[in-house]
A and B are shown apart, each in its own frame.
Chain A
Amino acid sequence: MPPTNPRKFSRLSPSPRFSVARRRFLQTSAAAVSGIVLSNCARNLSNNTAPSAETSPTADGTTATDSKTLHVFSWANYTDDELLKNFKDQTGISVVVDTFDSNETMLAKMQAGGGRAYSIIFPSDYMVEQMIELNMLMPLDRSRLKGIDGLMPKWQNPVYDANNAHSVPAVWGTTGLIFDPQRVQEKVRGWDYVWNNVDSLSRRLTMINDVREVFGATLQYLGYSLNSTKPAEIEEAYNKLLEIKPAIAAFMTNGWEDQLASGDLQISMAYSQDAIVLMEESPNLQYIVPESGSSLWTDTMVIPKSAPNPDAAYEWINFMLEPENSAKLVERLKFATPNEAAFNRLSPEVKNNENLFPPQAILDKCEGIAPVPQDIADLYDRFWTQLTST
């Protein structure tokens, strides 16, 4: 199978469920819409070739007792058929992948007891922290993990999960701006451009449909921490955002791609993962991490306490950590790996892709989104409601 190019699908069906998406929180409107119920997201990614695809678990864990089947709950496009086939060849374990489109949807499903089939989940950084707090994750037995030491130093001891006691980082990325350099007024280096060109942007800017990403970027632009918990700073960010409200067409995580290509939009705030996939198809586009910094996100692999098949889960994590497998997957699916051993095996073309692996100077300014106390979360939410309803 050639490198997956989900843009081809998105042409046919704009539903972002097919696009390589880095999704958090409420994600793309459309995906969120499709998942309005505690979405079972039982769309099997490897729906045509995975041997056990037909036995996709939806809600209960009735099919999970089979030790030769592993149920994985993941973001879209973190796995592909080839990976699943290799895994089966090597371990004899069939894999069924179900996808979710937001951490919260995943959490709600797990909490409601609808995810008992899954032995592997791919939560994002802050969600790992939350799930640890909720006592939902199995502590990992390091003696059973091979290759965990091959991770980049930055991910050896992440803030969201000390020493990776419960999680293994799998994919990371940044949040930035994507645009066509031919269509903007001046060189875009960061958020400055937006605040200085509100008139010419006039509803031709999209921002990610996520309160923390939008407020985080603004807080960083104002010189504060992306994870600010100071009400005054958050209110200042809100007022700052009001200034560019006339420039904002919509808050959308996905779905802006066609309009950006046609020039109906000038700039879109996007996850690096989405931007990179789009630029494969439209090389005229450019992705930047704003000068003021951005969020740095990590998606991990965890084993929930309810996992029916932890042995297979360990097999899976070890398989994913294996540098050769990992490198091949990254070459195919084009995401940033935190696995140094795998990184070293990548082709120079991928290795030097600054969008995938930004230079250290930029990374230094990036912060991971960390959970905030509940009252601050409520404050963010109220400002978000205000921002999106005025």
Chain B
Amino acid sequence: MATTPLAESSAASGWQRRLANLIQPIVLLLPSGLWLTLLLVAPTLLILELSLIPGFRLGQPAGSYGLGNYLEVFQPVYLQVIGRSLGFAVGTTIVCLLLGFPVAYWIAIKAPKHWRNLLLVGFVLPLWTSSLLRAYAWITILRPSGLLNTVLELFGLPGQSWLNRSPAVLIGLTYSFLPYMVLILYASLEKLDRRLLEAAADLGATPQQSFWKITVPQTLPGIAAGGLLVFIASLGDFVVPELLGGASSMTVSRLIYNQFLGATRNWGLGSSFSMLLILAVSIAIALLLKYGDRSAARS
């Protein structure tokens, strides 16, 4: 907080100003600081502690500290679950990017200006409904006698049976998180300096070359941010794999839920999974920040 020259030359005595300078940040930061400490830092530390007590269960005497919970994570069955979750998250991110980019590009660059907000609102509208309802809507669409097959039959196409399998999870996750991707990409594309595209064309780049050499690199921070958000959100998503994934729907988040609220109530193991999930997400964010910094230095 820089004191303005005006403040310095004002009649206010020195100690008053120093006091104000001391109090102001505290007053400004206290609410959010308390909030973060109470609701983010403290629970995370608690989970960290639980994760270091092998086999910790509420209501039972706690054992001694150890890394048993983390070692257990490396059992093949859990690795498989982690792999599946990562697969869904990566897949969703890619599909969202592939679907979201053209849409965001069209809204930000091609669509008439006065339509843009309307189009965006239309795209974000699904976010206003419960994710549970959206998942159920997809069940209605994807089930064997559902809307999709009815339409496919109408055109003489073979019916699909995606429900309760991975494709349904990908569809559901993509549907859930595509709006976020579009919003972030839109923000990024809207800021895109069109003169750069003209400059590229001027230097002999076809529209396609301009896209790959200018538009994509210029919006890379947006692509990274959108991709990361979708990745994190779909990695932690619980509803969609659970409702659309069928008999093989176990994901990390569900596994954590099971450890905390399921029959075994192994809070220690659940905590170690939580910590690993937090770690994975933190690494992803750190990568983004690092990348973001670099691109900020360039612009």
- Which chain B residues (70-112) contact chain A, with CB distance < 8 Å? 75, 77-78, 80-81, 84
A351 to B144, CA, bound (A): 38
A134 to B264, CA, bound (A): 15
Check: A42 CB closer than 8 A to any chain B CB: no
Check: B123 CB closer than 8 A to any chain A CB: no
A13 to B130, CA, bound (A): 11
- Min C-beta distance of A240 to chain B, whole Å: 15
Check: B116 CB closer than 8 A to any chain A CB: no
As a 0/1 sequence over residues 8 to 32 of chain A, the CB contacts with chain B under 8 angstroms (1 = contact) are 0000011100000000011001101
| Beta-carbon contact of A26 and B59 below 8 Å | no
| Beta-carbon contact of B143 and A102 below 8 Å | no
Partner of B261 from the list A14, A104, A203, A264 (CB cut-off 8 Å) is A104
Partner of B257 from the list A26, A249, A259, A386 (CB cut-off 8 Å) is A26
Given A25-B263, A249-B163, decide whether A263 and B145 contact each other with a Cβ distance below 8 A.
yes
A287 to B7, CA, bound (A): 81
As a 0/1 sequence over residues 142 to 153 of chain B, the CB contacts with chain A under 8 angstroms (1 = contact) are 011110000000
| Beta-carbon contact of A378 and B58 below 8 Å | no
| Beta-carbon contact of A203 and B262 below 8 Å | no
Given A212-B263, A374-B57, A378-B266, decide whether A251 and B243 contact each other with a Cβ distance below 8 A.
no
Partner of B250 from the list A212, A255, A388 (CB cut-off 8 Å) is A388
Check: B272 CB closer than 8 A to any chain A CB: no
Interface range, B side: 35 or more
| Beta-carbon contact of A389 and B84 below 8 Å | yes
| Beta-carbon contact of A250 and B247 below 8 Å | yes
- Residues of chain B within 8 A (CB-CB) of A284 are none
A33, A35, A36, A212: which has the most chain B beta carbons within 10 Å? A33
Check: A34 CB closer than 8 A to any chain B CB: yes
Check: A184 CB closer than 8 A to any chain B CB: no
Closest chain B residue to A39, Cβ basis: B261
Check: B219 CB closer than 8 A to any chain A CB: no
| Beta-carbon contact of B263 and A104 below 8 Å | yes
| Beta-carbon contact of B265 and A104 below 8 Å | yes
Partner of A378 from the list B81, B133, B261, B264 (CB cut-off 8 Å) is B264
- Min C-beta distance of B145 to chain A, whole Å: 5
| Beta-carbon contact of B247 and A33 below 8 Å | no
A378 to B143, CA, bound (A): 34
- Residues of chain B within 8 A (CB-CB) of A248 are 246-247
| Beta-carbon contact of B80 and A389 below 8 Å | yes
| Beta-carbon contact of B263 and A29 below 8 Å | no
- Residues of chain A within 8 A (CB-CB) of B164 are 203, 249-250
| Beta-carbon contact of B143 and A385 below 8 Å | no
A36 to B75, CA, bound (A): 25
| Beta-carbon contact of B163 and A386 below 8 Å | no
Closest chain A residue to B266, Cβ basis: A378
- Min C-beta distance of A267 to chain B, whole Å: 14
- Min C-beta distance of B150 to chain A, whole Å: 12
Check: A262 CB closer than 8 A to any chain B CB: yes
- Which chain A residues (235-292) contact chain B, with CB distance < 8 Å? 245, 248-251, 255, 259, 262-264
A25, A36, A377, A389: which has the most chain B beta carbons within 10 Å? A389
Check: A179 CB closer than 8 A to any chain B CB: no
A372 to B164, CA, bound (A): 31
- Residues of chain A within 8 A (CB-CB) of B264 are 374, 377-378, 380-381
Check: B161 CB closer than 8 A to any chain A CB: yes
- Residues of chain A within 8 A (CB-CB) of B144 are 264
- Which chain B residues (229-251) contact chain A, with CB distance < 8 Å? 238-239, 242-243, 245-250
| Beta-carbon contact of B263 and A211 below 8 Å | yes
| Beta-carbon contact of A389 and B250 below 8 Å | yes
Partner of A259 from the list B75, B143, B242, B243 (CB cut-off 8 Å) is B143
A10 to B59, CA, bound (A): 37
- Min C-beta distance of B81 to chain A, whole Å: 5
| Beta-carbon contact of A381 and B262 below 8 Å | yes
Partner of B132 from the list A33, A203, A377 (CB cut-off 8 Å) is A33
Partner of A203 from the list B75, B246, B258 (CB cut-off 8 Å) is B246
Check: A108 CB closer than 8 A to any chain B CB: yes
| Beta-carbon contact of A250 and B249 below 8 Å | yes
Check: B182 CB closer than 8 A to any chain A CB: no
Can you name 6 A-B pairs with beta carbons within 8 Å?
A: A32-B257, A108-B261, A245-B247, A248-B246, A264-B143, A390-B248
What would 13 more interface pairs be, CB under 8 Å, given A382-B77, A384-B258?
A13-B133, A15-B133, A36-B257, A211-B262, A249-B164, A249-B246, A250-B245, A264-B143, A374-B57, A385-B78, A385-B81, A388-B249, A389-B84
